[in-house]
Structure 1
Amino acid sequence: MYVDPRVARGITKFFLSDRPELEPESLEKIIHEVCDTAPPRPKNAGRSELCRHAYEHLLLPLENRGFCCVLDIAPEDPILLCSIVGGNKTIGFRWVSLLHTVVSDNYWIVKQLTVKPHAIWRCMQRVGCSEIAGITEPLSLAFGFATPLMTVFEKEGWKQFAIPVREGLFVGKFDEYGWSLDTYLSRKEHEFGSRWDKFLDLFPDIPQWTQDEVRNLWMTEQLTEIGKTGRIVDRCRWLATPYTPQARSA
């Protein structure tokens, strides 16, 4: 279905307007509220007891407020990660997270990734839907794949940040404001060839997941396999230069 870009822009702006519950500052306040009201940690507690305390007094309250939470007990200092996506009409969607090291008792609030309004409405237009709900999957894939790709970006010295999704990819950058996805490029079978096909061909077909499955683990596995035969930036050399957007359509 063809979606006029002006319509897609209007829907994006409307969806993100006057939504105080989505404001990143409001989400940060929820994190502070949960952390500040948690009861003191048991004195001389062991690792297991500290994990249980974090689960009961941080993970569950934040899950009840809409956050997606994971407690990784594998490291010597277990890590709690609680994330949620907020935003507004100016910044687009922003990923806000609490990162907590359980044993050492350190906290960070990080805003890992922003999907700019242009990328949102361009995705809507290219996917061919007239509501934000229609692009839930590509946005979810982008947030799920972002962290392992950030690691490769930094290691290989990319200047463009690209995340493959089904039938396309998001492209952006890292600058003094953080990670951002600035546009969406459609790569459907019937479309003309693009240099980005070479990047997408490095990855196998994306599986069909349930909502609860952890997607960054799949991307980590793919990047490990790709890395066995060389660096991505050596095969897709344009990643070493900043992205130059084309003129917007009316």
Structure 2
Amino acid sequence: MYIDPRVAHGKTRFELAEMPILHGRGRTQDLIASVNRVMEGSSRLGSREYARRLQRKAIPELRRMGAVPFVGNESNNTIGGIIGALYFTQDDRGVQLKRLVWTAGDRCSHDFLLMRFEPHALARCMQRNGVLSLPEIALEVNAAAAFALPLLGAAAAENWTQVGLPTPSGIFVGNLSKGFAVMQTYFCPGQNGRTSRWSGYREFFKEAVAAVQADTHCGPAIAAVFEAAKVGGGVAARFPFLMDSHEYTPDPDDTIWDQARASAARPEDRHIHAVA
């Protein structure tokens, strides 16, 4: 179903301002307060017992709050985290993916902003998938978020400037700076028969996309892709455009529809004849 881009952008702005969307959109302070509540009375525990209790009690609580918890090394962090959680927040700037980590040393929580989906990217995702509400693209956004932690770390190691996060139906694309990604658009490579340099990139990560669709960890699959790519000089050697900044290009479909609307609005193009 064709979705007018003006309608998709309008719905996106409205829903970002008015509606709670996607799982795990709880605010940082809500998550911290919830974990502090289940950990009450733990201040005198030794470090090992504290860590065991944190994993035993906090992980179920984080899931209840709609976040996606992980344990220790799964976070790929360098600050000694015991557990952590990925979760979403939203405002008029878009949907943000954040990471919250509880550390062993100071027993404190630390939050990081990993990625932002800009309103334009969300609107394009709605438009390309033929839907008119943000909850209907939750699968696409969540799949991109599953890629975020392992892929952004590997991309930073190769010094990419732009990054693509494959999803079951398409790909989010944006710029990467110091481990933080701003996803600026979304499209389905090769749609409508047009060639796209992102088609090969998305195919390159097909096993990781399959892991996400199967609801399993995609980290090992992404790591395997990067390890195999080292033989040829890395992923960026295969797709050198990753070293260039993402730049907006007009959508050909938008141009066609804009011309059609303009033509329909001209009186000389209206073939309506009065009946005598």
1:213 equivalent to 2:216? Answer yes
Structure 2 distance, partners of 1:177, 1:237, is: 19
Structure 2 distance, partners of 1:141, 1:20, is: 19
Structure 1 distance, partners of 2:133, 2:8, is: 8
CA contact (8 A) 2:8 2:132 kept: yes
Equivalence for 1:27: 27
Equivalence for 2:99: 97
Aligned equivalent of 2:244, options 233, 241, 244: 241
Structure 1 distance, partners of 2:206, 2:221, is: 11
How many pairs are equivalent? 246
Equivalence for 1:8: 8
Cα distance per residue 1:21-54 (max 9 Å; x no partner) = 99x997022134235544253546252x222321
When structure 1 is superposed on structure 2, of 188-197 and 159-168 the one drifting more is 188-197
Letter of the 2:60 partner, please give it.
L
* RMSD of Structure 2 on Structure 1 (CA): 3.1
1:163 equivalent to 2:160? Answer no
Cα distance per residue 1:163-220 (max 9 Å; x no partner) = 1223421111134894211111212465311111232232235326568533334333
Aligned equivalent of 2:225, options 218, 222, 226: 222
Equivalence for 1:60: 60
Letter of the 1:45 partner, please give it.
G
Q: Report the TM-score, using the length of structure 2 for normalisation.
A: 0.76
1:232/1:73 CA distance change after superposition, 3 Å: closer
CA contact (8 A) 1:80 1:102 kept: no
Q: Identity over the aligned pairs, expressed in percent?
A: 22
1:60 Cα offset (Å) = 3.2
The structure having more radius of gyration, on CA atoms, is 2
Q: Secondary structure at the match of 1:225?
A: helix
Structure 2 distance, partners of 1:231, 1:101, is: 33
Q: How does 1:42-191 map to 2 (within 5 A)?
A: 43=44, 45-47=46-48, 49-72=49-72, 79-88=82-91, 90-102=92-104, 105-175=107-177, 178-188=180-190, 190-191=192-193
Structure 1 distance, partners of 2:177, 2:201, is: 22
By percentage of residues, which structure has more helix? 2
Equivalence for 1:232: 235
Q: Secondary structure at the match of 2:101?
A: strand
1:39 equivalent to 2:40? Answer yes
1:233 Cα offset (Å) = 1.1
Structure 2 distance, partners of 1:177, 1:223, is: 17
CA contact (8 A) 2:161 2:177 kept: no
Structure 2 distance, partners of 1:154, 1:93, is: 22
1:83 Cα offset (Å) = 1.9
Cα distance per residue 1:101-125 (max 9 Å; x no partner) = 3356353111111111100010111
